[in-house]
Amino acid sequence: MTDSSSDRFVRSHLKTRHLVLLVELGRHGSIAHAAQAANLTQPGASKLLGELEHALGVQLFERLSRGVAPTWYGKVLIRRAGAALAEMDAAHQEVMELLSGLRGRVGIGTVLAPATGLVPKAINLLKSRHSRVHVSVSMSTSKALVERLRSGELDLVVGRILDTAAADELNFEPLTDEPHLLIARAGHPLAGRTDLQLEELMEQCWILPPAGSILRDRLTALFLSHGLEQPAETVETLDLPVVASLLTSSDMIVALPSDAVQPYLEAGLMTVLPFDLGVSMDSFGIVTRKRHQLSPGADAMLLALRDAAAGIYPHYRRPA
């Protein structure tokens, strides 16, 4: 099939069921299970997949003994199909919002520091303006959140763009960087020391973010650059209530921006240990998709984020 005929097929014959099937194949890795999830027969699903592969002239899935696995071409189409379906859902939601006043849903993803300051303030601001908008908040690493943004699962992310290949698809409004301090409970045995050494800190039990996160990599590099082993005792979590509970009930330590635990510091429940980690994070900011029209609810959330950021970060410059 020529490129022009392939284009005509995609524009004229590609239907919602093709998109749904692609997403379900990516989710289940099985034609039978994907067909069931997409309300298709297995022969019907196989026929639709064959049509797509024939029209595009590429293999989208490898047939394995126990299911199917997407090729690189298939992964691209799965992501784009998910985004297209999310756009259709958003279009329906936007129409409903216009009919009944500003309401609907907005999904926002956030990394740790803004999850305790910026994002709650922005949500409160949004609710004071549009009480019927439902907000769903997800907290994770920047990489995971941006992937969900690209696939249409989230409307906005407060985080970082780590994948340079995806940068052309995204808008980024920088907010601030994140200097990290060494946090422990008030009264920690190391709290009064002014001569702390990294070798001593290596012997402590650390609360760490998941492997692959920027902070985890930089803490690893910190120990390695001094010829030291990684801490042998660790707990891995991004859940701030869990972190706070562990810190206040044990001698564990953690590297966090002070904003993340400011209420505990002000209440005298936690303290900053006198040791300069020399670890800071790249600037985080508001991430949205280029060439994507936000729904009215998501647009109102973006405005609330910008208004809240202007009152928190002195160096933030909101777009004109």
Q: Are residues 269 and 293 in the same domain?
A: no
pLDDT tens, position by position, 205-262: 999 988 878 888 889 999 999 999 999 999 999 888 899 999 999 999 999 888 788 8
Torsional class of 104: left (φ above 0), alpha (ψ -120 to 50), beta (otherwise): left
DSSP-assigned beta bridge partners for residue 254: 183, 207
Q: Are residues 12 and 142 in the same domain?
A: no
Q: Report the candidate in 235, 181, 233 with the shortest Cα–Cα distance to residue 208.
A: 235
51 in any annotated domain: yes
pLDDT at 178 > cutoff 90: no
Would you give the DSSP letter of residue 260? G
Q: To the nearest whole percent, how much of the chain has pLDDT over 90?
A: 44
307 in any annotated domain: yes
Query: Can you point out the beta strands (E) in the chain?
Result: 61-64, 67-70, 104-110, 133-139, 156-159, 170-179, 181-185, 206-208, 234-236, 253-256, 270-272, 280-289
Q: Report the candidate in 52, 15, 21 with the shortest Cα–Cα distance to residue 35.
A: 21
213 in any annotated domain: yes
Q: What is the overall mean pLDDT for the chain?
A: 87
Question: Based on the structure, what is the number of domains in the chain?
Answer: 3
254 in any annotated domain: yes
13 in any annotated domain: yes
Q: Which domain holds residue 119?
A: 101-178+282-312
Q: Are residues 191 and 242 in the same domain?
A: yes
CATH of residue 39: 1.10.10.10
Q: Are residues 303 and 155 in the same domain?
A: yes
First to last CA, the chain: 47
Provide the token pair at 50. Answer: 């064959």
62 in any annotated domain: yes
Does the pTM exceed 0.85? no
Q: Are residues 160 and 242 in the same domain?
A: no
Q: Are residues 246 and 294 in the same domain?
A: no
Kindly report which listed range (70-74, 114-118, 276-280) carries the lowest average pLDDT score.
276-280
| DSSP reduced 3-state for 92 | helix
Q: Are residues 156 and 291 in the same domain?
A: yes
pLDDT at 171 > cutoff 90: yes
Residue that terminates a domain, selected from 32, 49, 79? 79
Q: Are residues 140 and 199 in the same domain?
A: no
Q: Are residues 28 and 149 in the same domain?
A: no
Q: Are residues 115 and 132 in the same domain?
A: yes
Q: To the nearest whole percent, how much of the chain has pLDDT over 70?
A: 92
Give CA separation, 223 vs 201, 215, 253, 272, in Å.
Answer: 10, 13, 15, 20
Q: Are residues 173 and 185 in the same domain?
A: no
34 in any annotated domain: yes
pLDDT category at 318 given cuts 50, 70, 90 is confident
96 in any annotated domain: no
Q: Are residues 205 and 165 in the same domain?
A: no
CATH of residue 120: 3.40.190.10
